[in-house]
Amino acid sequence: DTGVSQDPRHKITKRGQNVTFRCDPISEHNRLYWYRQTLGQGPEFLTYFQNEAQLEKSRLLSDRFSAERPKGSFSTLEIQRTEQGDSAMYLCASSRPLRYTDTQYFGPGTRLTVL
């Protein structure tokens, strides 16, 4: 169990550019989640996958955001035409719900700064 990994850890970009983040979940975890956290707030849900199917999306996920999990393993989150308001920590989590536990495990996050 190597934990959830995310890449890159930090990203600085200029407004209007596109960025893509990657998340590798814990192996055998069939659920993968994306959250966003801004300064002083708790993480907010963006979207989640069960295997390769994207089953729920938040209203926070505007049409500039797209997420994929093509083979049910790693996932990518792309933000097109970035805006300064997109600056945040983007967190990925994974889980494998069992009868007595449904713990989500979080990665270290990707900190995005839009200049």
Partner 1 sequence: GIQVEQSPPDLILQEGANSTLRCNFSDSVNNLQWFHQNPWGQLINLFYIPSGTKQNGRLSATTVATERYSLLYISSSQTTDSGVYFCAVKGGSEKLVFGKGTKLTVNP
- Which 79-98 residues touch partner 1, going by CB under 8 A? 89, 91, 93
Residue 77 as a binder of partner 1 (CB under 8 A): the answer is no
Both structure tokens of 50: 């069960």
| Beta carbon of residue 16, minimum distance to partner 1 (angstroms, whole number) | 26
Give the integer Cα–Cα distance in Å for 3 and 54.
22
| Beta carbon of residue 107, minimum distance to partner 1 (angstroms, whole number) | 8
Both structure tokens of 77: 């989150």
Q: What is the phi/psi pair of residue 18, to 5°?
A: -95, 145
| Beta carbon of residue 12, minimum distance to partner 1 (angstroms, whole number) | 16
Residue of 18, 44, 32 whose CA lies nearest to 107: 32
Positions touching partner 1 (CB under 8 A) are: 31, 33, 35, 37, 40-45, 48, 55-56, 58, 89, 91, 93, 101-106, 108-109, 111
